[in-house]
Amino acid sequence: MIAKIQLEKDEITVDLSQPLDISITLSGDENNPTAWYVDQPAIQPVKDGKWIAKVSEGASVNFNNIQFNPHAHGTHTESVGHISEKFYSVNKALKQFFFKAKVISLVPENYKKDFAISKKQLQHYLTKNEAEALVIRTLPNTKAKRHQKYSHTNWPYLLEEAAIYIRECGINHLLIDLPSVDKEKDNGELLAHRAFWNYPENTRLNATITELIYVSNKIEDGNYLINLQIASIKNDATPSKPVLYKIL
């Protein structure tokens, strides 16, 4: 279905019948990615005595409990409430769901003993006010990202200068295929989070960060419409389903 979408600054045309899902599906088994030193999520039928809420066990319905952590178990979108002393729900931060997005692919550079994304790299791909959402695909990009066990791996991250540059380019919604925009072990500094949200000096309450996405290699770099949908959970972060649409 071809549709014209009126955004704040642009009118764009997309084919809504050709969605490009860049979320990772949450599953209750070892195939689910994990981070932050927590076990895999659990999806299990309710039990009441000998009764098991599973059709294959004789019940009339399947009726499961799900236990997971949004930050550790898959694609999630977070608000500044993730780092603020005062509670702030991501549901308050995200009230519109369609944005012009730019997809870029980067090889993190050697930085001290780590790998990181710098401002200099981003300047080759992103200029001011060309998009409201930025989708970063790190290279190499393999399907293993959908099942990766990230704890204690010292994944690549954004330098503080890179996060500031992204903010100054007018990006309000940042998406990346890593468990965090920050270094795994940084003594709680969270420099990229703080820089992107401009916290606490002049906090951007409506800005969001989405982590643990997976952008297939079939998706080319360039401009897209993004539909950033979140689960309605009152929390600093919630599972999300970002979907791209190629601009015609």
pLDDT tens figures, 225-244:
999 999 999 999 999 999 99
DSSP-assigned states of every residue in 70-83: TTTSS-EEE-GGGT
> What local confidence, expressed as pLDDT, does residue 184 receive?
98
- What's the whole-number average pLDDT of the chain? 96
Rounded to an integer, the average pLDDT of 54-66 is 97
Q: Does the structure show a pLDDT above 90 at 4?
A: no
pLDDT in tens, 106-159: 999 999 999 999 999 999 999 999 999 999 999 999 999 999 999 999 999 999
pLDDT (mean) for 74-98: 96
Query: Is the Cβ–Cβ distance between 138 and 181 less than 8 Å?
Result: no
| pLDDT tens per residue across span 17-37 | 999 999 999 999 999 999 999
Q: What is the pLDDT of residue 206?
A: 97
Say if residues 77 and 230 touch (Cβ distance below 8 Å). yes
The whole-model pTM stands at 0.97
Would strands 208-211 and 173-176 be described as parallel, antiparallel, or unpaired? Answer: parallel
User: Does the pLDDT at position 8 exceed 90?
Assistant: no
Reduced to 3 states, what is the DSSP secondary structure of residue 64?
strand
Phi and psi torsions of 56, nearest 5°: -70, -10
Who has greater pLDDT, 120 or 9?
120
214-218 long-range Cβ contacts below 8 angstroms, 24+ apart: 214/22, 214/23, 214/24, 214/75, 214/143, 214/145, 214/146, 214/177, 215/22, 215/103, 215/135, 215/137, 215/141, 215/177, 216/20, 216/22, 217/141
Give Cα 69 distance to the centre of its chain. Answer: 14
Give per-residue pLDDT as tens, 163-211: 999 999 999 999 999 999 999 999 999 999 999 999 999 999 999 999 9
CATH superfamily of 2-27+70-246: Putative cyclase (3.50.30.50)
DSSP designation for 39: P
pLDDT band at 6 (very low <50, low <70, confident <90, very high): confident
Quick one: which of 76, 1, 64, 2 has its CA closest to 32? 76
pLDDT at 177: 98
Domain range annotation of the chain: 2-27+70-246
Peptide bond into 239 cis (omega under 30): no
